[in-house]
């Protein structure tokens, strides 16, 4: 799992009725994009996370000027 600042970390609910938790990566503390990550939740709460198998990284959309033609 690799992330950069600005990516979203989605932690899927593990039981029926529990919603996914989405946070934004604000700091990558591991080497070359590896965990742990400092993340910020929508309510402003920050935490250090080492994501497990119930998590995925949603990469931010990067738009390059040359790609628009």
Q: Tens digit of pLDDT per residue, the chain (69 long)?
A: 899 999 999 999 888 888 999 999 999 999 999 999 999 999 999 999 999 999 999 998 766 566 554
pLDDT score for 64: 56
Q: Give the per-residue pLDDT at 14.
A: 82
In the DSSP assignment, the letter for residue 35 is: S
**Could you tell me the pTM of the whole model?**
0.80
Q: Are 47 and 39 in contact (CB under 8 A)?
A: yes
- Inter-residue contact 11 to 51 (CB < 8 Å): yes
- The whole-number pLDDT of residue 13 equals 84
Length of the chain: 69
Angle at 2 between CA 19 and CA 69, to 5 degrees: 95
pLDDT of residue 68: 53
User: Which letter does DSSP use for residue 21 in this model?
Assistant: E
* Both structure tokens of 27: 């700091």
């Amino acid at each position: 799992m690799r992330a950069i600042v600005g990516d979203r970390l989605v932690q899927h609910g593990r039981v029926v009725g529990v919603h996914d938790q989405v946070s934004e990566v604000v700091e990558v503390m591991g080497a070359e994009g590896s965990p742990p990550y400092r993340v910020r939740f929508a309510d402003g709460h920050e935490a250090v996370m080492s994501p497990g198998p119930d998590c995925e990284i949603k990469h931010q959309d990067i738009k390059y000027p040359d790609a628009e033609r």
